[in-house]
């Protein structure tokens, strides 16, 4: 393995000069810098990253923690795409750590990235409590940004979309269109997003004085298969409903398939709404109406804050990103009179 001394001898300079070129600290003439880079190329020298990071106090890396239960979904793909895109724009490397299946493992993933001396960390948590994340952020110097959870203390370190309000909006729109019997397919209820979207559904019904029917709530697991099975379950029970809200687009697409297989026309007999507005939503038959969560805007704001914090910047407020209903062909007016909006 080539050493820094060999590079220095090849370039005809001191080890200290090679170190200054690699770190970017201190003045080195362009001619000398060119000789050092030429010697590095000729000797195939690879600098010791740990030593360089200790010297420069930066690794030019950002860590991302996501539990692996999200890896197969479109939502994670969008988060990862924008993370990689924004990292490239800022000349940094992205390091992904698996949060696995528990709060302890999410915490271990954060510790792993801290041990690697990542300049900052982003976490999309599923298991860590709000109090635990507040404590982690307070205890470490590196900025740790939290996506999709509302922190109690470190307001400037969290960005989120109000999942409860988004679900309430979707259900309220269906009620306003004349639907009163609305089925709901939950996401996994060990997920904060799943819990909040279910609570938004219940709140919208309560606001309009519509009795909650437990027989119209079916547990899903964020997958298309679970959406298909949820609709099969409702149809087998002969449940009466004119609209269905699925907690993500994958499950909504599974629902569309189940309705088609059963000869139930969408939207003539039942309206369907999903969440996340995934790229395939406009291409389903019928095209899927969906609540769009502004992931692009959330990730851009996350990186803006993180990079600014690394440069000494500060915020004193949290920020929420409202979802919007993207109207397509999968919903129609229901059998009841429309609700007059205040």
- 68-112 pLDDT, tens digit per residue, is 766 666 667 777 788 888 877 777 788 888 888 888 999 999 998
Given a contact cutoff of 8 angstroms between Cβ atoms, the answer to whether 331 and 273 are in contact is yes
Same domain, 254 and 272: yes
The mean pLDDT of 291-300, rounded to a whole number, is 84
- Give the confidence band of 341 by pLDDT, cuts at 50, 70, 90: very low
Given a contact cutoff of 8 angstroms between Cβ atoms, the answer to whether 330 and 256 are in contact is yes
Cα(337)–Cα(180) distance, rounded to whole angstroms? 10
Cα(258)–Cα(227) distance, rounded to whole angstroms? 8
Task: For residue 42, give its domain range.
Answer: 4-56
Residue 277 covered by a domain = yes
The backbone torsions φ and ψ at residue 159, rounded to the nearest 5 degrees and listed phi first, read -135, 140
pLDDT greater than 60 at residue 56: no
Cα(249)–Cα(256) distance, rounded to whole angstroms? 10
Same domain, 22 and 85: no
340 vs 6, residue with greater confidence = 6
Strands 289-292 and 324-326: antiparallel
Residue 327 covered by a domain = no
pLDDT greater than 60 at residue 320: yes
Residue 303 covered by a domain = yes
Same domain, 184 and 250: yes
- Give the confidence band of 301 by pLDDT, cuts at 50, 70, 90: confident
Cα(288)–Cα(12) distance, rounded to whole angstroms? 67
pLDDT at 51: 52
DSSP 8-state class, residue 60: -
DSSP 8-state class, residue 168: H
b (16+ CB within 10 A) / e for 51-89: eebeeeeebebbbbbbbebbeebbbbebbbebbeebbee
Looking at the 3D structure of the chain, how many domains does it have?
3
- Give the confidence band of 342 by pLDDT, cuts at 50, 70, 90: very low
Same domain, 126 and 217: no
Domain harbouring 175, CATH code: 3.40.50.2300
Same domain, 197 and 102: no
pLDDT at 228: 97
- Radius of gyration (C-alpha) of the chain in whole angstroms: 26
Q: Given CA atoms 20, 26, 30, 32 in this order, what sign does their dihedral have?
A: negative
In three-state secondary structure terms, 201 is helix
pLDDT at 340: 45
Residue 248 covered by a domain = yes
C-alpha dist (Å) from residue 259 to 82, 213, 307: 34, 21, 47
Residue 210 covered by a domain = yes
Same domain, 167 and 156: no
Residue 342 covered by a domain = no
pLDDT at 158: 82
Given a contact cutoff of 8 angstroms between Cβ atoms, the answer to whether 247 and 194 are in contact is yes
Same domain, 29 and 142: no
Instruction: Tell me the DSSP string of 212-234.
Output: P-GGGEE---SSHHHHHHHHHHH
* Share of residues in the chain with pLDDT > 70 (%): 89
Final residue belonging to a domain, choices 56, 72, 94: 56
Domain harbouring 23, CATH code: 1.10.260.40
The backbone torsions φ and ψ at residue 245, rounded to the nearest 5 degrees and listed phi first, read -110, 125
Same domain, 309 and 256: no
Q: How many residues does the chain have?
A: 342
Same domain, 173 and 284: yes
Same domain, 200 and 135: no
């Amino acid at each position: 393995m080539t050493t820094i001394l060999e590079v220095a001898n090849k370039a005809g300079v001191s080890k200290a000069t090679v170190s200054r070129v690699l770190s970017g600290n201190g003045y080195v003439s362009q001619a000398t810098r060119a000789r050092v880079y030429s010697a590095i190329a000729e000797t195939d020298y690879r600098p010791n990253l740990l030593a360089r990071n200790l010297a420069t106090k930066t690794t030019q890396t950002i860590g991302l923690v996501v539990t692996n239960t999200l890896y197969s979904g479109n939502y994670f793909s969008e988060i990862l795409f924008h993370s990689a895109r924004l990292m490239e724009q800022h000349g940094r490397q992205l390091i992904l750590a698996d949060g696995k299946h528990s709060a302890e493992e999410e915490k271990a993933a954060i510790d792993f990235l801290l041990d690697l001396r990542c300049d900052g960390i982003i976490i999309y948590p599923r298991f860590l409590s709000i109090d635990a994340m507040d404590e982690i952020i307070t205890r470490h110097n590196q900025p740790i940004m939290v996506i999709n959870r509302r922190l109690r203390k470190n307001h400037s370190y969290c960005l989120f979309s109000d999942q409860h309000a988004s679900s309430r909006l979707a259900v309220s729109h269906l009620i306003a269109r004349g639907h009163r019997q609305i089925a709901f397919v939950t996401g996994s209820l060990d997920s904060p997003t799943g819990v909040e979207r279910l609570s938004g559904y219940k709140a919208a019904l309560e606001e309009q004085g519509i009795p909650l029917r437990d027989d119209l709530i079916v547990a899903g697991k964020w997958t298309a298969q679970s959406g298909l099975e949820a609709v099969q379950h409702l149809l087998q029970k002969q449940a009466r409903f004119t609209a269905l809200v699925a907690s993500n687009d994958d499950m909504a697409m599974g629902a569309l398939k189940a309705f088609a297989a059963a000869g139930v026309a969408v939207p003539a007999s039942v309206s369907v709404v999903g969440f996340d507005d995934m790229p395939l939503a406009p291409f389903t038959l019928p095209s899927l109406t969906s609540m769009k969560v502004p992931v692009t805007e959330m990730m851009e704001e996350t990186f803006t804050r993180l990079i600014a914090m690394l440069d000494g910047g500060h915020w004193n407020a949290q920020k929420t990103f409202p979802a919007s209903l993207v109207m397509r062909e999968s919903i129609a007016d229901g059998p009841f009179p429309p609700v007059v909006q205040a």
